Structure 1
Amino acid sequence: MAGERAAIEVDGLGVRFRLGRRGRRSFKDLFAGSSRRNRPGEFWALRNVSFRVQHGEAIGVVGRNGQGKSTLLKLVAGVMLADEGHVSVHGGVAPLIELTGGFVGDLTVRENVKLTAGLHGMSRAEVAERYDEIIDFAELGKFQDTPYKHLSNGMKVRLAFSVVSQLEEPILLVDEVLAVGDKGFRDKCYQRIDELLADGRTLFFVSHNEKDLRRFCTRGLYLDRGGLVLDASIEDVLDRYNADNG
């Protein structure tokens, strides 16, 4: 549609960390102003990164470990603030990242589904309507009244993916979550993401798995040393990435 804003707009993005124990800058540093940039002991995780993601696009983000991919995903998710530039996200996000965060160990599976889905914006009526589907997808029908802390790691991931993938938000943020679980569960995850993409969702996908990137994505972003090296088709991006990294 003419004039429609992009799903994700990133302009001149920069994020820096302080090397050593303190990590990000202190409040004192924040109030010191931009004149103190590039001081010794600071590291730019991202710098001068700009791109647009249109509604309905499937974007794969590639790069070696430590090159800014997960930092970029957290900025898009709104859980981290930029030091330079800005990120604009037009539409709600379903964050398939750090999946098991937010669950409460002493609460049962049933209670955690209601709590977590509610925190992600589902109404009580929506949770009640989708509860059985969430439990069936996670294959936890026999464990609904079991405290979350007694679940295996695989069960926890299945439950988290099942809850978040039920959200109707138009933008999916995915960070390596398809690398976990057994083959049967991964196949279910693949099918679920296929369904969401067919429904017109936007995908922003960080992964090292070329097979997954080629399956889901049509366009790629290649990050290296905190900068955007290439924004092109996923095939061209993977070819360049592999050529650069042997």
Structure 2
Amino acid sequence: MREEFAIRVDDLGVRFRRRRRGGRTLKDLFGGSARRMRPGAFWALRHVTFDVAQGEAIGIVGRNGQGKSTLLKLVAGVLLPDEGSVTVHGGVAPLIEITGGFVGDLTVRENVRLTAGLHGMSKTAIARRFDDIIAFAELDDFVETPYKHLSSGMKVRLAFSVVSQLDEPILLVDEVLAVGDKAFREKCYRRIDELLAEGRTLFFVSHNEKDLRRFCTRGLYLDKGALKLDAPISDVLDAYNADYNR
């Protein structure tokens, strides 16, 4: 394995419970071994191992429900593994469930301060970058507007603008480029290009083959919670398309 890595995943496994009628009992919650598979449980990911070098751009490929978003959440620290480990060198800028964490009754100004602060940006840095965040999101006329009154497109623009201003070395992106109009997507593309040019690491989930080929040099193909292929992005996309078209 590489010595200088941004992300290292070793024999990773995480399981979830399927919802069942009647809810969970106390026995479900506290009884038995934590390692023992219980009725209704399934492995979303298992025996997944890889590492990502600093500055690499990795695309995660697979059908819906194969563990892609779960993997990003594990790298982000939102979820904890049931088996194995995830080691991350440096902080992460997560573009995952992008509009989560914003407060409807707070204004755009207040939400920028809150969200950027929760991601670790100092008050001085927020003040210095505030105008750039608002300008990128194209919300100059909505700074004092409550967040709940923004359109869905405005909310996405604001969230991307805040997170893309973070100084963290690792950028986690989950389908965020699938939303927004064409002009804003192009702006996002340029911003990601800038971040990659700075040497940031990109971990990118998308169903858009064009985006994956544009940004990524290497791909991880997840199938039924397992890592089916780790190879150059062109080879991974070819394998995925061949399986999909069978």
TM-score range, shorter chain: over 0.9
Query: Displaced runs of 4+ in structure 1, greater than 3 A?
Result: none
Change (3 A) 1:165 1:26: farther
Give the counterpart letter for 1:97 in structure 2.
I
- Indicate the residue corresponding to 1:44 in structure 2: 43
Report sequence identity in percent.
Answer: 76
- Indicate the residue corresponding to 1:28 in structure 2: 30
Change (3 A) 1:12 1:111: same
- Indicate the residue corresponding to 1:204 in structure 2: 203
- Indicate the residue corresponding to 1:137 in structure 2: 136
Distance 2:65 2:240 in 1: 15
- Indicate the residue corresponding to 1:10 in structure 2: 9
- Indicate the residue corresponding to 2:120 in structure 1: 121
Please report how far the alpha carbon of residue 42 of structure 1 lies from its aligned counterpart in structure 2 after TM superposition. 1.8
Asked if 1:219 corresponds to 2:221, the answer is: no
- Indicate the residue corresponding to 1:84 in structure 2: 83
Please report how far the alpha carbon of residue 27 of structure 1 lies from its aligned counterpart in structure 2 after TM superposition. 4.2
Distance 1:133 1:244 in 2: 44
Please report how far the alpha carbon of residue 20 of structure 1 lies from its aligned counterpart in structure 2 after TM superposition. 2.5
Distance 2:201 2:177 in 1: 17
**1:27-71 superposed Cα distances (whole Å, 9 cap, x missing partner):** 415x6243x23x442211111000000000000000000001011
Give the counterpart letter for 1:131 in structure 2.
F
Distance 1:16 1:118 in 2: 32
* SS of the residue 2:237 aligns to: helix
- Indicate the residue corresponding to 2:187 in structure 1: 188
**1:131-164 superposed Cα distances (whole Å, 9 cap, x missing partner):** 0000000000001011111000000000000000
**1:146-190 superposed Cα distances (whole Å, 9 cap, x missing partner):** 111100000000000000000010000000000110111000000
TM-score by length of 2: 0.94
- Indicate the residue corresponding to 1:152 in structure 2: 151
- Indicate the residue corresponding to 1:171 in structure 2: 170
Please report how far the alpha carbon of residue 74 of structure 1 lies from its aligned counterpart in structure 2 after TM superposition. 0.5
104-113 or 53-62: bigger deviation: 104-113
Give the counterpart letter for 2:61 in structure 1.
V
Which structure 1 residue ranges, 5 or more long, are not aligned? Answer: none
Give the counterpart letter for 1:101 in structure 2.
G
Give the counterpart letter for 1:28 in structure 2.
F
Cα root mean square deviation, aligned: 1.7
- Indicate the residue corresponding to 2:73 in structure 1: 74
Aligned length: 241
Distance 2:14 2:28 in 1: 14
Distance 2:202 2:229 in 1: 18
Please report how far the alpha carbon of residue 240 of structure 1 lies from its aligned counterpart in structure 2 after TM superposition. 0.3
